[in-house]
Structure 1
């Protein structure tokens, strides 16, 4: 249910409750009216307009000047009818006008449509009508100033406060919509960055390396590939320096469950050892695929930076908390210097930032990287499992 719908439902509820209150007051006081039948006629008009206004305001296309003006005129008419039905003595003693607080529904409707300026305008019109009723029926010295002023103040407060709150709520809704749009764009950009890193960037890096090794015209080709790699890294790195908030847990529990073990054991080789539990570890298909891709990216880093003969171990185990699973990738390579990951991200090399951390973050999980020069690297990826 959107903000507009919620606001108009609230106005409709208020209008109905205020009608019930007005009916109770008329039932109690009608014996003392100058024209008792007039009280029931006004109540019938209020009941009919309540039903019609509730229906009319439910359609956004009708919430314009004709309906707003009619709403205000009906409220003003019911309020002015007090001068014909009620007695001067009763008003002087503090009896309420016939519609009591029902007229405030029109003020609320104006405030919802146009904010506090519209709300205050409607309150001013109806407040003037209330003063006019007392002026018509009572002498200047006999006006019950307390009840008159209280009613006007309440109308002004309703128009001002509700109009201001409506403006704040609409601004907040607009900011939320913009934030959701930006987050969606960021997630799509990260997804594309991961795909590019896993394919195009690695091919360009390989071409550059092989070209430099071969020399001659191949070296020129390698140089061009290196320039394109740098340009492409800078392009996909735009706006990705700061990671977005962690994804909701539910993002990782979409899709049919599959066993994570075969996904990981497919990475086994003479230099990669995979250890998994004896029982199935079920994850949604999307989560298993993304986690497998993150492991593949981690093993690619081992092959690229670990040197000849570097070994890696992949472990699948329970996570530190209930309902979590952890996949660890350890290697015996040279490790990383402090600050190397931050420098790589600043230079546009987003292998770990996007292919590993980005994937796990999208699943609502966390990544822990433990490394030191000469001591290898361990990457722990923890994601939630289905309940």
Structure 2
């Protein structure tokens, strides 16, 4: 234990890699400045005639003017350039460079540059950064032993709710000693191989965090707080931009889906003796298809996917297209084949939501119907409250009592009327 404390004390006396680079940069630029000033003094002194009164004073004034007006700005520019190159814009002490870096602070810069810099200022060998994704999970990046840009993104992980609440309560960061009495939180520290975690908070919401293997000093913690706040805002803007872009994309997809749906849906109503069939303006949640089976009988399918999104029409059109294609090949023979084909097609598409359907056969003066689901209804036109078909059973409906309506809620989809034809 004493040896460990001695080791830590010696380490605290030695400069960190960041401090060492700062010191070397300062020494190099100031040494160069002094050398240039003395070289200039020597050149000017040689050029001024000795016969002039106060030639030493004149040399001194000229060199001082050149050094202040020309050399000093150039050396400062050189020092800033060296710090930006070897220390990073986000860690330099130059205020102008830092402001410029903050302006360019985007999501890519956070992952590639800012994250390694935040690990550096804590003087840690290992760092892990969690970033909230638009899906609500966290993507993780690691940084190990000063290898900048050697980042290893892993799969998205759900961070436990109690750990998120703990971090939200630690706005100024938390060390592992604060989690000793909470076994679950302490376990999260151990899993991250972290001695210190700093959260990225914006408007009381956790957008990510930095986990490092060393507890930073006060100066490093102050710089870390500035970068963490900017990181949270950057992640927030990235998620917002993603959702805006997705919204625009889906809006476009919906427009294309409606066009494709109009092209795919045949919906050709057959002309049959005595029958008058009317199709009402359809909604985007349902489609209708008529087709003949092997024995020449006319069937129809009303299919509802249980959603109202416009691009659902592509899915329904595909399924009814499969049914129509099978009917043209004379593969389908009746109710059982049609129902089995629709069910298997939904399974192949891995459709998780409920769907409803009505399969109908048009007879001479009657309809044969099978219904699945409660959103679709089959009623008489003269009394919309009279339901004339039982769910799950094959129903035969006589047409002499009046027209039949197929509705979704209160919106009509199809109307079937029959009038006996008189042979002259």
Asked whether the two chains share a fold, i.e. TM above 0.5, the reply is no
TM-score (norm 1): 0.27
Higher strand fraction (1 or 2)? 2
Higher helix fraction (1 or 2)? 1
Q: Which has the higher contact order (CA 8 A, sep 6+)?
A: 1
| Pair member with larger Rg | 2
TM-score (norm 2): 0.25
